[in-house]
Amino acid sequence: MRPRSQQHGFTLVGMMIGVALGTIAMLAALTMWQVMRDAYASVADGIEIEERGQRALAIIAHAIRQAGWIPAQVALEPAHPAPQGPLEGHDDCGAPSIDDGLECGRRGVRGSDALLVRFSGSGRATDPSLADGTMTDCSGYALPAKTVGDGIAPPAHHAATNVFYIGNGSDGVPQLLCRYPRRSDNRAQAHAHTSGTLVRGVESMQLRFGMVDEGDGQGESERVPALLDAQDVARQRQLAWHHVRAVQVTLVVKGQRPTVSRAPRERTFTTTVRLRNPSPCREALC
């Protein structure tokens, strides 16, 4: 008689154990992949938040430092009206418009404030309404020393008005926007403005202002006095905005990369910027 050949195979118990071990290994791999993905998203999100926050602060600070500047080549006529302040602020301000001052169409996004900055650029010696390329406004376009379209009225002391505010994009994402003079034939228009997005993801902007009294003996090196909200500045005295010497800007920037483990992160960025150019307003003019 021939001996029986031995038959080899998997038992039901062995198969079940193998499936269980395979499932555990797969779940462990998926968990590790999720952890690594979240870690990458967190690092990338942190870098993006830092970059966007610092860029937003830099753009606003650049405008504040230029506030009130009038080029020497622009002669002011005796018929000029009293100069307006280098800047103005408004608490809880959305959809701002530019008239003689800063007007708000509705409440601000998350109670955000708005900032209006007035300054001039640098024009060619032969034509101050054509920019020489050395100064820009918030749009990134070169800003001249004079705007066009004023008609027969004396031109404004400051060529440009920039308004910074927070608004929601078409996708609902809040962003830092700026309203600036419209251009035509490379010339800035005096009474036509347009808005553009500067930095996405900026959810809130809060402003506070430091004031000094004219002739109080304080030098530029003196510490900025207590910071006030915009409404408190307006209550101080007539022409209060001419006495502002510093602006504190606080921005809240939200990340754009949600993870499974947590919602997008937020960070707060703050800086205080001194004005370089005191208001031209004097008692004889104002």
Q: What's the rounded Cα separation, in Å, for the pair 188 and 119?
A: 13
Element containing residue 206 per DSSP (H, E): strand 202-211
DSSP 75: P
* End-to-end CA, the chain: 126
For residue 105, the cross-strand partners are none
In the prediction, which pLDDT does 218 show?
Answer: 47
| pLDDT at site 90 | 96
Question: What residues of the chain score a pLDDT lower than 70?
Answer: 1-10, 40, 73-81, 150-156, 213-225, 238, 257-263, 280-286
pLDDT for the residue numbered 114: 98
Rounded to the nearest 10°, the torsion over CA 52, 55, 233, 156 is -130
Contact 281, 85 (CB under 8 A): yes
Would you say 142 and 104 are in contact if contact means Cβ atoms under 8 Å apart?
no
pLDDT digits (tens, 9 = 90+) for 148-198: 876 545 556 787 899 999 999 988 999 999 999 999 888 888 888 899 999
pLDDT of residue 147: 84
Q: Which residues of 188-225 are buried (b: 16+ CB within 10 A; e: fewer)?
A: bbbeebeeeebbbbbbbbbbbbbbbeeeeeeeeeeebe
Token pair 């004023």: residue = 150
CA distance 165 to 23: 53
**Element counts in the chain: helices (H) and strands (E):** 2, 11
Q: Are 154 and 164 in contact (CB under 8 A)?
A: no
Which residue ranges make up each domain of the chain? 40-274
In terms of pTM, does the model score above 0.95?
A: no
Residue 70 tokens, joined:
């009038």
The pLDDT tens digits of the residues spanning 67-96 come to 988 877 666 666 666 778 899 999 999 999
pLDDT score recorded for residue 152? 46
Q: CA 86 to CA 245: how far, in whole Å?
A: 10
